[in-house]
C-alpha cells in the first residue's frame, strides 16, 4: 500500500453567549416551549426589519483578535438563499464577501509538537430553527426558538493532518471562546459544532485530493472516530483504483462509518448578494482598541499567573485552567477561603473523580464556590476530618448543600473534647492487649491499628492527629 497523508479543515459553528438573538430582542435561552422565544422578525414575517445586536459584532471581533486575525473594519452582511423550512425567510443572513475576521492562526500541541492551524476567516450569521418529523400527520413541525440565535463560523485552513490534531484544535478553540465569554460551547446543546472537510493524498503529492464534508458533528469522540473512519474509507477507494466523489456525508457513530447524503438534483447555488436590510458596519480604530483592552485573560496567561500568584504546581494549574468553569470556581473559592493548594486538590482529585463517575463535563458543575470555601473552612478549623470532609463534599457536588448546616444536622463534627477521647482510647487499650504489646516491642504498625480502632469507636468523628498524641501519651 502507498502511504497517504490526510488533509483536514474544519468549519466550526459557535453559538454566541448573547442574551438576545442577532437581529431581534428575543431571548437566546436554551430550551423552552416551541416557538415561545420568537417574534415576527425571527419567524420571517413579511414587512419586518432586522436590527443588529451590537454585542454580536463585539464578540466576533473578540474571537478574531484571540485567533490572531485581521479585523475587517468595513464589513457587511450578505444573504445566502435557499429554501428549507428551518429558515423562514428562505435566506440566511451571513457574510460572504467581507467576513469580519480574516487570516489568523491558533497554536496547537500534539505529542509534544507545536504547530499553527491557520484561520481562513470568521464570519457572523444566524442559526436556523429545528425541524421535527410528525409521524401521525406525516408532516414536519417547525420550532423557531433557535432561529436567529447568533453564530460565528470559524473556518480553518486545511492544516490538520490527524484526528489528534483536530481534537487539539477544537479543544483550544473551545477554551478560547469560553475564556472570552463569547460562547459557552456546550456541545450537547449544539452550541459548538463542526463540519469536517477531509481528503487524502499520496505523501509528497502537491495537489489536494477530492474532499468530502461531514456536517454538524457535536462530540469530540464522534469527531475523532469520523476522521479515522472517513480517512480509511477514502484510502480504500483509492487503493482499489476508484474515485472519491465530492459530496456531503453523514457520520453514523453507531455503525462506525459515513453515508452519502441524498444529493440534491441541482448543485447548491446560494445566489449570495449584499443584505439590503442591514447597513454596513464601520469598526473604528477606537472601537477596536476598546475591545482589545477589554480582552480577558486567556488560558496560557492564567496558567502562569496561578503558578506565581497562588503558588500551585504547573500540573495543578494545567488541569484547573483546562476548563473555564473549574478556573472560575477555583478563583472564587480561593478569594473566599484562601488555601489555594487545598482548593486545587478538591477540584483536581475529588471533583474530577465525581465528574468521571457521573459522566459529566466540568461545565456542568453545579456546586457553588461559597460551599466549597465553607468546607475548606471546616477542615482548617478542625471541625471535621478528611474522611468526613470527603463525604460532605459528595453532597456539595450532588446538591450544593451548605456544609456547615449539614455537618451540624448530621452530627459529623469532630469530638475535640480530649477527656471523652482519652476515655475511649483507654477502653481500646484495655481491649487490645496484644497490639499494645506489639507496639511496646517496637512494632510501629500496631499503633496504626489502635488509631483505626479508636476512629471506628468514634464513628470517624475525631482528629487522627489528636488520637495519635493521646495514644502515645498513654502507652
**Secondary structure class of 84 (helix, strand, coil):** coil
Q: How many CA atoms lie within 13 A of 143 on its CB side?
A: 14
**Segment 273-332, which members bind another protein (CB under 8 A)?**
274, 276, 278-282
Examine residue 260 and tell whether it contacts another protein (CB under 8 A): no
**Minimum distance from residue 267 beta carbon to another protein (Å):** 10
**Minimum distance from residue 255 beta carbon to another protein (Å):** 16
Examine residue 39 and tell whether it contacts Zn ion (CB under 5 A): yes
Select from 192, 87, 79, 185 the least CA-distant residue to 143.
87
Q: Rule CB under 5 A: choose which of 24, 151, 173, 412 binds Zn ion.
A: 24
Nearer to Zn ion, 89 or 339 (CB): 89
Grid look-up 474509507 returns 233
**Pairing mode, strands 150-156 and 113-126:** antiparallel
**Segment 33-62, which members bind another protein (CB under 8 A)?**
33-40, 43, 45, 51-55, 57
**Minimum distance from residue 42 beta carbon to Zn ion (Å):** 3
Q: What are phi and psi of 284, to 5 degrees?
A: -75, 160
* 340/358 Cα distance (integer angstroms): 26
Q: Rule CB under 8 A: choose which of 47, 112, 137, 430 binds another protein.
A: 137
Q: Which grid coordinates are listed for 254?
A: 453507531
Q: Rule CB under 8 A: choose which of 113, 134, 207, 359 binds another protein.
A: 134
Q: Rule CB under 8 A: choose which of 269, 417, 444, 473 binds another protein.
A: 269
* 106/173 Cα distance (integer angstroms): 8
Q: How far is C-alpha 404 from the geometric centre of its chain's CA atoms?
A: 31
**Minimum distance from residue 108 beta carbon to Zn ion (Å):** 37
Q: Which grid coordinates are listed for 400?
A: 450544593
Nearer to Zn ion, 6 or 94 (CB): 94
Nearer to Zn ion, 19 or 443 (CB): 19
Q: Which grid coordinates are listed for 8?
A: 483536514
Q: Return the one option of Zn ion, another protein, none that residue 282 interacts with (CB less than 5 to 8 A, by type).
A: another protein
* 39/51 Cα distance (integer angstroms): 13
Q: Return the one option of another protein, Zn ion, none that residue 413 interacts with (CB less than 5 to 8 A, by type).
A: none
**Segment 68-127, which members bind another protein (CB under 8 A)?**
76, 81, 83-85, 88
End-to-end C-alpha distance for the chain, whole angstroms: 76
Per CB under 8 A, the segment of 2-10, 227-235, 272-280, 397-405 that binds another protein is: 272-280
User: Which residues of 98-207 form beta strands (DSSP E)?
Assistant: 101-110, 113-126, 130-134, 139-143, 150-156, 192-202
Per CB under 5 A, the segment of 35-43, 137-145, 245-253, 391-399 that binds Zn ion is: 35-43
Q: Which helix (H) or strand (E) holds 94?
A: strand 91-94
Residue count of the chain, please give it: 475
Bridge-partner residues for 131, per DSSP?
Answer: 142
Examine residue 139 and tell whether it contacts another protein (CB under 8 A): yes
Examine residue 455 and tell whether it contacts Zn ion (CB under 5 A): no
In the complex, which residues of this chain contact Zn ion (CB under 5 A)? 24, 26, 39, 41-42
The contact set with another protein (CB under 8 A) reads 18-20, 24-27, 33-40, 43, 45, 51-55, 57, 76, 81, 83-85, 88, 131-134, 137-144, 266, 269, 271, 274, 276, 278-282
Amino acid at each position: 500500500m502507498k502511504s497517504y497523508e490526510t488533509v483536514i479543515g474544519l468549519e466550526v459553528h459557535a453559538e454566541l453567549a448573547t442574551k438576545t438573538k442577532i437581529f431581534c430582542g428575543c431571548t437566546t435561552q436554551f430550551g423552552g416551549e416551541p416557538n415561545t422565544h420568537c417574534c415576527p422578525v425571527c419567524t420571517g414575517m413579511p414587512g419586518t426589519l432586522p436590527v443588529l445586536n451590537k454585542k454580536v459584532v463585539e464578540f466576533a471581533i473578540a474571537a478574531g483578535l484571540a485567533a490572531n486575525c485581521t479585523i475587517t473594519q468595513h464589513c457587511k452582511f450578505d444573504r445566502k438563499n435557499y429554501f428549507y423550512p428551518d429558515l423562514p425567510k428562505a435566506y440566511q443572513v451571513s457574510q460572504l464577501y467581507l467576513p469580519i475576521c480574516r487570516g489568523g492562526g491558533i497554536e496547537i500541541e500534539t505529542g509534544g509538537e507545536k504547530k499553527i492551524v491557520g484561520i481562513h476567516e470568521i464570519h457572523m450569521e444566524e442559526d436556523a430553527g429545528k425541524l421535527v418529523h410528525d409521524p401521525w400527520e406525516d408532516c414536519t413541525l417547525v420550532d423557531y426558538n433557535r432561529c436567529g440565535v447568533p453564530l460565528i463560523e470559524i473556518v480553518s485552513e486545511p492544516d490538520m493532518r490527524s484526528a489528534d490534531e483536530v481534537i487539539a484544535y477544537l479543544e483550544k478553540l473551545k477554551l478560547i471562546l469560553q475564556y472570552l465569554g463569547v460562547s459557552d460551547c456546550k456541545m450537547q446543546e449544539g452550541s459548538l459544532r463542526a463540519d469536517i472537510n477531509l481528503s487524502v493524498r499520496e505523501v509528497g503529492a502537491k495537489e489536494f485530493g477530492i474532499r468530502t464534508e461531514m456536517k454538524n458533528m457535536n462530540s469530540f469522540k464522534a469527531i475523532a472516530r469520523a476522521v479515522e473512519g472517513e480517512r480509511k474509507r477514502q484510502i480504500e477507494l483509492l487503493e482499489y483504483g476508484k474515485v472519491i466523489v465530492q459530496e456531503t456525508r453523514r457520520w453514523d457513530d453507531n455503525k462506525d462509518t459515513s453515508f452519502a447524503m441524498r444529493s440534491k438534483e441541482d448543485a447548491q447555488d446560494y445566489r449570495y448578494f449584499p443584505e439590503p436590510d442591514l447597513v454596513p458596519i464601520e469598526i473604528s480604530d477606537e472601537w477596536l482598541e476598546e475591545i482589545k483592552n477589554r480582552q480577558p485573560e486567556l488560558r496560557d496567561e492564567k496558567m502562569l499567573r496561578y503558578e506565581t500568584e497562588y503558588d500551585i504546581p504547573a500540573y495543578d494549574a494545567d488541569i484547573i485552567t483546562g476548563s473555564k468553569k473549574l478556573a472560575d470556581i477555583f478563583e472564587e473559592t480561593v478569594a473566599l477561603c484562601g488555601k489555594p493548594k487545598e482548593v486545587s486538590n478538591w477540584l483536581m482529585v475529588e471533583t474530577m473523580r465525581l465528574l468521571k463517575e457521573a459522566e459529566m463535563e466540568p461545565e456542568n458543575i453545579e456546586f457553588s464556590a461559597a460551599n466549597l470555601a465553607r468546607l475548606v473552612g471546616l477542615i482548617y478549623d478542625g471541625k471535621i476530618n478528611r474522611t468526613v470532609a470527603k463525604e460532605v463534599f459528595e453532597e456539595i457536588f450532588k446538591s450544593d448543600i451548605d456544609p456547615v448546616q449539614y455537618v451540624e444536622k448530621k452530627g459529623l463534627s469532630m469530638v475535640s473534647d480530649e477527656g471523652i477521647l482519652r476515655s475511649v482510647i483507654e477502653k481500646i487499650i484495655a481491649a487490645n492487649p496484644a497490639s499494645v504489646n506489639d507496639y511496646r516491642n517496637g512494632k510501629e504498625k500496631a499503633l496504626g491499628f489502635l488509631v483505626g480502632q479508636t476512629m471506628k469507636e468514634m464513628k470517624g468523628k475525631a482528629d487522627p492527629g489528636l488520637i495519635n498524641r493521646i495514644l502515645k501519651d498513654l502507652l
